Structures are given as C-alpha cells and as structure tokens.
C-alpha cells in the first residue's frame, strides 16, 4: 500500500463516551464522507485518504475538517459546494481561504 499524499479528516463529533456531541455530527458531517470519496475519485485524486474523527473541539465553527500534511483546518462546511471549493484549492496546491480556520 502506498502512503497517501494527503489525508482529509472529517469531524464526526464523537467523544470518548461514544455519543455525538457537537455541531459537526448534528449538521451532517458524516454524510460528507461518501461525497468526498466520490468527488476525489471523479477528480482522479487517488492519492488522498479520508477518515472520520472524534470531536475536533471547534464545535462553534463546525462542520469541520483538516487536511494533512498541510495542517489546514476548515470550518463552517455546510453543503457540497463548500467541499468542492476546498478540493479545488487542494488541487491548485493552496488553501481555500473562505473556509480556513485561523
């Protein structure tokens, strides 16, 4: 197995107790996993992995995700158009400023 060039972590808001707590899960972040997978495939970005995570503790700015190795944190990702914009930036080699958390 080849190491992925990039890794997208999508907050699923799950905490140690197993219960979803934060905004990300409640706003449907888990539903974005399938869309991300399909969109990456459609774009030929086969060197990018996707994982869901526990709570990233940015509930007030969720849904959230992180792209590594860049370390870019994105928030307020509401809808597939936001994901498209972030992936456009990823393809261009620069962060999508509109959703970037600073």
d(Cα 9, Cα 37) in Å, to the nearest integer? 12
Query: Is 52 domain-assigned?
Result: yes
Query: Is 86 domain-assigned?
Result: yes
d(Cα 102, Cα 99) in Å, to the nearest integer? 10
CATH number of domain containing 32: 3.40.30.10
Helix/strand/coil (H/E/C) assignment for every residue in 7-60: EEEEEEEECCCCCECCHHHHCCHHHHHHHHHHHHHHCCCCCEEEEEEECCCCHH
Query: Is 73 domain-assigned?
Result: yes
Residues 9-43 have pLDDT tens digits of 999 887 666 555 667 888 889 899 999 999 999 99
How many separate domains does the chain show? 1
Residues 51-70 have pLDDT tens digits of 999 889 898 899 999 999 99
Of the given ranges (1-5, 6-10, 20-24, 87-91), which has the lowest mean pLDDT? 20-24
Residue 93 DSSP code: T
Query: Is 1 domain-assigned?
Result: no
* Structure-block tokens of residue 17: 């107790």
Query: Is 71 domain-assigned?
Result: yes
Q: How high is the pLDDT of residue 19? A: 57
Q: How high is the pLDDT of residue 21? A: 61
Closest to 6 measured CA to CA, from 85, 64, 82, 92: 92
Residue 3 DSSP code: P
Q: Which domain does 68 fall in, by range?
A: 6-99
């Amino acid at each position: 197995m080849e190491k992925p060039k990039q890794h997208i972590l999508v907050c699923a808001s799950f905490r140690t107790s197993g219960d979803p707590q934060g905004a990300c899960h409640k706003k449907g972040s888990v539903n974005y996993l399938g869309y991300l997978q399909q969109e990456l495939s459609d774009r030929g970005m086969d060197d990018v992995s996707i994982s869901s995570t526990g709570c990233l503790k940015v509930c007030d700015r969720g849904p959230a995700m992180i792209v590594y190795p860049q370390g870019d944190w994105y928030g307020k990702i509401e809808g597939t158009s936001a994901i498209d914009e972030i992936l456009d930036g990823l393809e261009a080699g620069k962060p999508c400023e509109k959703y970037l958390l600073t």
